[in-house]
């Protein structure tokens, strides 16, 4: 009998070769990898470009916001004055897109308002609203002064005290130094109170009433400095109750002065 020839194979050898062929076929080529890499880089670069452009736009909007607010608060743009986007954009050297974002924020802060005709104007603050804001400021800022008592560095107290005393030493008709601003003390107290929500509320309300800063009321500047010194003395001593009362008296005097000024203005008409 002739024995049949049999071919011996290692078990699984065919499957291994088939798997290798399959893996080779499924593996991406070098060219495919390069194409994919370039595509991914293009996406990343595109995203980065969009992020950079968005950041630049936000920066311009913030710059426009600060500039436009400064023009309003300084009186360069008077109440009821019409705001022309094109003119302001040219003046600030920016496009209208970031300017519109700044305008939107100022409308939200009620410093600008759009009339029924569509015209955008600087909002005139009604006296009733101003007095209402002062009433709220009295509550918030006196509480901030109470919390800030004993919390402000002595060198900061000394800096503001020296500034107030320098203003008191000036002749009545002397120009007020730009550095001698009422804001510094109030902002320092709001920060030292240690309550971010309270600070934000105070800053927002002070912005809305800042058109009546004491710099525009020369007859008040000496009184304001004396009131500031009383507040500073209480803060330095860590006397919370005295700080609260000194701040209340300060805002009460601001309120009384503004009401008297407006009443006198109405009588002259």
Weakest mean pLDDT among 36-45, 152-161, 188-197, 244-253: 36-45
The structure tokens listed for 208 are: 């809305």
For 258, residues 6+ apart whose C-beta sits below 8 A from its C-beta are: 130, 131, 134, 212
Q: pLDDT tens across 169-209, in order?
A: 988 777 766 555 567 899 999 999 999 999 999 999 998 88
- Model confidence pTM above 0.95: no
Q: For residue 230, what are the contacts with CB-CB under 8 A and spacing of at least 6?
A: 246, 249, 250
**For residue 101, what are the CA distances in angstroms to 5, 65, 89, 208, 228?**
89, 8, 12, 19, 37
**pLDDT at residue number 216:** 56
Strand partners, 122: 112
Supply the pLDDT for residue 7.
47
Q: How far apart are CA 132 and CA 138, in angstroms?
A: 10
How large is the average pLDDT for residues 86-92? 90
The pLDDT, as a whole number, for residue 74 is 79
Q: Are 71 and 64 in contact (CB under 8 A)?
A: no
Best-predicted range by mean pLDDT among 50-54, 128-132, 246-250, 259-263?
Answer: 246-250
- In this prediction, residue 58 carries a pLDDT of 64
Q: Does the pLDDT of residue 27 top 70, yes or no?
A: no
The percent helix, strand, coil of the chain (3-state, each to 5) is 70, 5, 25
Mean pLDDT lowest for which of 108-117, 120-129, 211-220? Answer: 211-220
Q: Judge whether 174 and 222 are in contact, CB under 8 Å.
A: no
pLDDT per residue as tens digits for the range 218-250: 677 889 899 999 999 999 999 999 999 999 999
| Mean pLDDT over each residue of the chain, to the nearest integer | 80
Grade residue 40 by pLDDT with cuts at 50, 70 and 90: low
Strand (E) or helix (H) holding 207: helix 196-209
> Would you say the C-alpha torsion 258, 260, 263, 264 has a positive or negative sign?
negative
Task: Flag whether pLDDT at 41 surpasses 60.
Answer: no
Q: In a 10 Å sphere around its CB, with 0-12 CB exposed, 13-18 middle and 19+ buried, how is residue 255 labelled?
A: middle
221 close to 205: Cβ distance less than 8 angstroms: no
User: Residue 154 CB: number of other CB atoms within 10 A?
Assistant: 8
CB 215 within 8 A of CB 221: yes
Q: Report yes or no: 193 and 147 within 8 Å, Cβ to Cβ.
A: yes
pLDDT of residue 182: 64
- Of the CA atoms within 13 Å of residue 106, those in its CB half-sphere come to 28
CA distance 23 to 13: 15
Query: Does residue 22 have a pLDDT over 60?
Result: no
Q: What value, to the nearest 5°, has the Cα angle with vertex 133 and ends 130 and 138?
A: 125
Task: Flag whether pLDDT at 69 surpasses 50.
Answer: yes
Block residue for tokens 């009131």 = 227
């Amino acid at each position: 009998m002739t024995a049949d020839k049999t071919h011996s194979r290692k078990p699984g050898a065919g499957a291994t070769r088939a798997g290798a062929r399959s893996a080779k076929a499924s593996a991406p080529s070098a060219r495919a990898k390069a194409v994919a890499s370039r595509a991914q880089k293009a996406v990343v670069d595109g995203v980065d470009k969009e992020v950079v452009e968005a950041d630049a736009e936000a920066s311009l909007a913030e710059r426009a916001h600060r500039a436009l607010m400064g023009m309003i608060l300084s009186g360069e743009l008077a109440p009821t004055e019409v705001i022309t986007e094109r003119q302001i954009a040219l003046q600030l050297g920016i496009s209208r897109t970031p300017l519109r974002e700044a305008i939107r924020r100022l409308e939200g802060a009620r410093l600008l308002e759009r009339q029924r005709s569509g015209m955008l104007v600087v909002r005139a603050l009604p006296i009733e609203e101003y007095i209402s804001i002062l009433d709220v400021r009295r509550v918030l800022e006196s509480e901030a002064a109470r919390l800030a008592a004993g919390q402000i560095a002595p060198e900061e107290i000394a800096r503001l005290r020296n500034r107030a005393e320098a203003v008191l030493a000036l002749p009545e008709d002397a120009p007020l130094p730009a550095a001698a601003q009422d804001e510094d003390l109030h902002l320092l107290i709001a920060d030292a109170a240690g309550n971010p929500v309270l600070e934000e509320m105070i800053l927002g309300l002070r912005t809305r009433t800042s058109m009546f800063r004491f710099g525009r009321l020369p007859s008040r500047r000496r009184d304001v400095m004396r009131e500031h010194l009383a507040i500073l003395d209480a803060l330095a001593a860590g006397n919370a109750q005295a700080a609260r009362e000194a701040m209340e008296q300060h805002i009460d005097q601001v309120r009384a002065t503004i009401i008297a000024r407006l009443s006198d203005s109405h009588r002259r008409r």
